[in-house]
């Protein structure tokens, strides 16, 4: 009988420490494969494989596309690429960003659940917002096991809180406790695989394909949800609302995907950027009008100078409420999920 031998782990802010504690408690004879996604900025070479190799007994690497899956190893998603699982091997693909990140947790979790079903153990660690919630929900839908870091133990509680609030979680533990727990769970037999309704199976298959760089428009993901009034912050395409239990999330026809909270944060950031663009334009108008007024004054044309100075004062007054709104943007940014 198959064992629970596929472990997918995701972390973001505060996650490096949590991952170190987790792998430090794994046994040297760990009879499973462990896959890690950790959010980081594009263009940065990940130091995580070296850090985790020092922290625990298992070999750690960033895989290449097509690498076979081996037991007793830790695989860390390479920067700016999704890591996905196929039957017996790993896919590395530069599909559309999800929840503002590539790699993202949800594509890894979904692909693992789609291919390996009840053999999968999904783990959500420290991080902001709610990446990983949808993927962990899918792991449970396929009969897998869901583990979440105890929020009080997490450096940033957002991702654990979101997962606990939306998924029927099997275990909540400290990061170190999860390492020991995994050492026990991977020796257990997997439950019988849960078959999906045809609509759920087709949607899951298409979302895995999109992460693998298939044409999202050809995958016709929009037929699995309802058109929303919102537009994609990445490409400005129309977003389709998709439902998973109590979870509502969004995907556009070019493939970008957003959880509710990720969409809210991206929209707020774009609004703040546009407000600062307006402030900058008005400030430049004030500077230009004042310079023109000074030039007219030097020439003795006091009427034209006064007109420029009046318009400069009016532009400055117009900029003040916009500046105040832009400055308020930081106060409205999300650190944790909205309920």
Query: Coil, strand, or helix at residue 54?
Result: helix
Distances (CA, A) of 110 to 8, 144, 201, 284: 10, 11, 11, 49
Q: CB of 147 within 8 A of CB of 178?
A: yes
Identified catalytic residue from 12, 62, 134, 162: 12
Identified catalytic residue from 106, 130, 131, 261: 131
Which residues does 119 contact at the CB level (< 8 Å), separation at least 6? 2, 3, 4, 5, 6, 144, 190
* 171 in catalytic set: no
* 12 in catalytic set: yes
Identified catalytic residue from 5, 33, 39, 106: 39
Query: Coil, strand, or helix at residue 249?
Result: strand
- Name the burial class of residue 325, with classes exposed (0-12), middle (13-18) and buried (19+) by CB atoms within 10 angstroms of its CB: middle
Which residues does 291 contact at the CB level (< 8 Å), separation at least 6? none
Determine the Cα–Cα distance for residues 260 and 244; give it in Å rounded to an integer. 12
Which residues does 55 contact at the CB level (< 8 Å), separation at least 6? 19, 20, 21, 23, 24
Q: Which residues are catalytic?
A: 12, 39, 131
């Amino acid at each position: 009988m198959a064992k629970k031998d596929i472990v997918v782990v995701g972390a973001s802010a505060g996650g490096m420490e949590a991952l170190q504690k987790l792998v430090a408690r794994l046994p040297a004879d760990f009879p499973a494969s462990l896959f890690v996604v950790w959010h980081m900025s594009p263009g940065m070479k990940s130091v995580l494989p070296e850090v985790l190799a020092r922290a625990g007994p298992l070999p750690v690497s960033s895989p290449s596309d097509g690498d076979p899956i081996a037991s007793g190893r830790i695989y860390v998603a390479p920067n700016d690429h999704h890591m996905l699982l196929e039957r017996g091997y790993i896919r590395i693909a530069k599909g559309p960003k999800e929840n503002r990140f590539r790699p993202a947790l949800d594509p890894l979790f979904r692909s693992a659940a789609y291919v390996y079903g009840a053999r999968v153990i999904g783990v959500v660690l420290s991080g902001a917002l709610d990446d990983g919630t949808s993927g962990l929900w899918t792991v449970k839908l396929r009969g897998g096991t869901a583990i979440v870091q105890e929020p009080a133990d997490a450096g940033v509680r957002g991702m654990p809180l979101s997962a606990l609030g939306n998924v029927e979680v099997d275990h909540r533990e400290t990061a170190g406790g999860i390492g020991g727990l995994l050492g026990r769970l991977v020796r257990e037999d997997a439950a019988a695989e849960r078959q999906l309704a045809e609509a759920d199976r087709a949607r899951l298959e298409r979302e895995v394909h999109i992460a693998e760089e298939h044409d999202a428009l050809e995958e016709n993901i929009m037929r699995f949800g309802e058109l929303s009034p919102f537009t994609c912050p990445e490409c400005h395409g129309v977003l389709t609302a998709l439902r998973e239990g109590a979870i509502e999330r969004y995907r556009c026809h070019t493939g970008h995907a957003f959880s509710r909270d990720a969409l809210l944060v991206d929209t707020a950031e774009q609004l703040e950027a546009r407000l600062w663009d307006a402030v900058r334009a008005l400030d430049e108008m004030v500077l230009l009008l004042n310079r023109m007024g000074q030039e007219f004054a030097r020439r003795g044309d006091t009427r034209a100078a006064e007109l420029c100075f009046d318009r400069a004062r009016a532009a400055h007054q117009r900029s003040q409420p916009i500046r105040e709104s832009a400055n308020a943007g930081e106060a409205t940014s999300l650190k944790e999920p909205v309920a």
